[in-house]
Structure 1
């Protein structure tokens, strides 16, 4: 599968990351660094600017929608980059960005269906984009290059993911991601639990969760009624290996289907043991995240973008990095999700799953076409991408130099963790569209409370998947 090829290349890139205390050898990182809390690049960038194929000047207003909003660590970086582009070109951006969740995804699909889509969209390049890709509502990179030959020429094409709908490349990536388990070490210390390492097993995790619960803390910060996505992904992955995690089951009774069911039943077991917050079925993700940062919960399973949110919670002013309480930040760490079966603990979920699309609507508008191309080129340039990629990864051909002194403590810990990763595999949930996930995402409260069996929920999702593929 193409995602597996992407994983191999991306993993090779990430494993070259080096900071003080990690590998001991200075090396050139593959454009996956930046100043997450400052909005300034922590990389040394060449004086040579990326060639711009679109005319720079203009007075067009383009509508742009991204996920760089809310607590996303790149929200401020995005605002700064947009302002720079506006100042350089004279064009303006009407921004409609919002935090990514299922509601956001549904909104995007609805916008395309009603003709209200933006001119430029930063969105997922997997199955979530199938509807508007199949409808011809976005323009391929090749078609754009036919008129603007330098478009995305600074990118490694092998790292640009193709749409699963037609095998064509549409979205120019900016930053990659990884998913792992953040840890509140103060809670662990209070509960007498050691910091998990690269050989951490599921049985050890269960035992530690019990100790944490007995000490009066919530072992796991998660809102199963709001954002069960990460637990869904890793619980299923724990029944599999990197070689078969991206398989979609044909039924709940086949080999893959049984793995999905077993994964959901593990989540149910955690719920029944009381390892989630008491209000996990009614709480919002923001509320359970606050439990974690307020020293009330030990473990938080989330993505690389959460580093910024954790750092922000350690600042008296979330928008002012100079107010960082380094002592408080020292109580947070990140490690691998506990392994079970044939999945190694150091096998993580990650990849380059999002990118910038130019819509057909903007492409066919003579007043907006060049501006849309210019905007994407600016946001995906050698100068801007490293600021967004930070401690994750990018598809840039030219790797900037790492300046480890510009990283905060949690970023360094994240890169230390990533230096031990044995594989990165894409999220299988990205291969399901929104409706396919309803029975197990929205239905998670019913599954963990026993109202619906995991097998029935999985089968319902598979049936929707099959219907949508016809």
Structure 2
């Protein structure tokens, strides 16, 4: 396993995934596994006594950064167990979600599914088409025992846990150190507050730079979320207020963004600029701070390459200008309380569980894919639910990824994004309406109240 992990990180294994182990090679030689004895994976679960083919669907496909890692892992598992995998993975989008739901409705669901664990999973959980972790543990006590159960998301249907997570996400604050140095500002730390942040922003503005890279007229999402979070707690943030009388944190959050706008801390064209334009300001050392998600690490790294598609062209000195740290806190929310979570995981379907030939293989496959050794390969600088994540070989990661890992080691809590619940037309008055709010053309309380009314009317 250790040799395999190293090979994955180095990216030296290249092959085709389709029905791994059962497709002829280029030379026409059949490579079907011939193992018929029981085999044991790295997690100690016993694979089936005879080779089986598992139907597996994930989002590790297309341009997903873990697509090749998934191919490598599947190939290794097939080689180890003698089983095969028929893969129908596809890039995650609404079409993919619809396809998965339709497959369950028509009885065409896979044996193992890597999918969302929120409202998107409600229909097949309600239909008893997937098996809970507790039910699996009744027969396989060590199933997902390497995970912190508190970090495994509960189903919205029955409060049970179904999906074993691999990698998650976080939202934090990226920093252009070149701009901070020019303004005489220190890189923020774990005790950073909004008052400290505003003082630093003023210094940065006085030095001739833009403090905050954000397009409030295009993508106000991250500031919207954290501005509200700064008036909530990790315990109550993911709760949509019943009405305006309970929405003081939301109104105060909008007013905080308005204050930052009035102080001149956003780009001059923040109301008309695109997110791509303000991101370019950040990477071009014209702006100091950028709140975004863990996925932005790749974008910053690509911006430091002469060829965005070729990692070997990375300018390490340019990348050294960037780091990532905590979003300034306020009130009961510490800076180290981040928005993030584990929004996807591996499900075992009822179809596979009730198939005597596939049950053990499905358990073994998920255990392998969520092992202590393999999860860090997928999670890298993002979040995971491992109880004891092994040390990583830092030589396999770039400087920004390593700094992201260091940042995550100091996180005190991960809280889901309430905007992921507050979706649709109800967001228009505060998302699309952000320019009107910050310029005083729309009262913040009225904007929030209208959004809440629309939200509750849809429930």
Q: Say which SS state the counterpart of residue 310 (structure 1) adopts.
A: helix
Q: Say which SS state the counterpart of residue 88 (structure 2) adopts.
A: strand
Q: Does 1:455 align with 2:445?
A: yes
For residues 151-206 of structure 1, give each alpha carbon's deviation from its aligned partner in whole angstroms, at most 9, with x where no partner exists. Answer: 53543434322113320111111124433211011122334433223343323323
Give matches, 1:358-369, under 5 Å. Answer: 358=348
The residue number in structure 2 matching 1:209 is 201
CA–CA separation in structure 1 for the residues paired with 2:56 and 2:321: 43
Q: Say which SS state the counterpart of residue 171 (structure 1) adopts.
A: coil
The residue number in structure 1 matching 2:291 is 301
Cα deviation, residue 429, structure 1: 1.1
Q: 2:42 aligns with which of 31, 43, 49?
A: 49
Tell me the TM-score normalised to structure 2 length. 0.73
CA–CA separation in structure 2 for the residues paired with 1:265 and 1:150: 49
Give matches, 1:32-431, under 5 Å. Answer: 49-52=42-45, 55=48, 57-59=51-53, 62-65=56-59, 70=63, 74=66, 76-82=68-74, 84=76, 89-98=83-92, 104=93, 106-107=94-95, 110-111=98-99, 114-115=102-103, 119=110, 121-127=113-119, 129-130=121-122, 133-134=125-126, 136=128, 138-144=130-136, 151-213=143-205, 215-254=207-246, 257-277=247-267, 280=270, 285-318=275-308, 321-358=311-348, 375-397=365-387, 399-404=389-394, 406-421=396-411, 423-429=412-418
CA–CA separation in structure 2 for the residues paired with 1:107 and 1:441: 25
- Residues 374 and 187 of structure 1: CA distance in aligned 2, closer, same or farther (over 3 Å): same
- Residues 240 and 438 of structure 1: CA distance in aligned 2, closer, same or farther (over 3 Å): closer
CA–CA separation in structure 2 for the residues paired with 1:61 and 1:371: 11
Cα deviation, residue 221, structure 1: 2.5
Alignment gaps of 5+ in structure 2: 13-39
Cα contact 2:254–2:444 (8 A) shared by 1: yes
- Residues 60 and 419 of structure 1: CA distance in aligned 2, closer, same or farther (over 3 Å): closer
Cα deviation, residue 450, structure 1: 5.0
Cα deviation, residue 348, structure 1: 2.8
CA–CA separation in structure 2 for the residues paired with 1:282 and 1:247: 31
The residue number in structure 2 matching 1:3 is none
Cα contact 2:104–2:124 (8 A) shared by 1: no
**Which has the larger Rg?**
2
Cα deviation, residue 147, structure 1: 7.3
- Tell me the matched-pair count: 420
Cα contact 1:314–1:325 (8 A) shared by 2: yes
CA–CA separation in structure 1 for the residues paired with 2:55 and 2:65: 26
Cα contact 1:53–1:149 (8 A) shared by 2: no
Cα deviation, residue 330, structure 1: 1.0
Of residues 130-139 and 184-193 in structure 1, the stretch that sits farther from structure 2 once superposed is: 130-139
For residues 417-455 of structure 1, give each alpha carbon's deviation from its aligned partner in whole angstroms, at most 9, with x where no partner exists. Answer: 34544x214124167253386334455455445564432
Cα deviation, residue 209, structure 1: 3.0
CA–CA separation in structure 1 for the residues paired with 2:408 and 2:55: 40
State the superposition RMSD in angstroms. Answer: 4.2
CA–CA separation in structure 2 for the residues paired with 1:447 and 1:171: 40
For residues 113-151 of structure 1, give each alpha carbon's deviation from its aligned partner in whole angstroms, at most 9, with x where no partner exists. Answer: 655897455444345544554455544334555677765
Cα deviation, residue 260, structure 1: 0.9
For residues 302-334 of structure 1, give each alpha carbon's deviation from its aligned partner in whole angstroms, at most 9, with x where no partner exists. Answer: 233433433343334556544432211210112
Q: Say which SS state the counterpart of residue 413 (structure 2) adopts.
A: strand
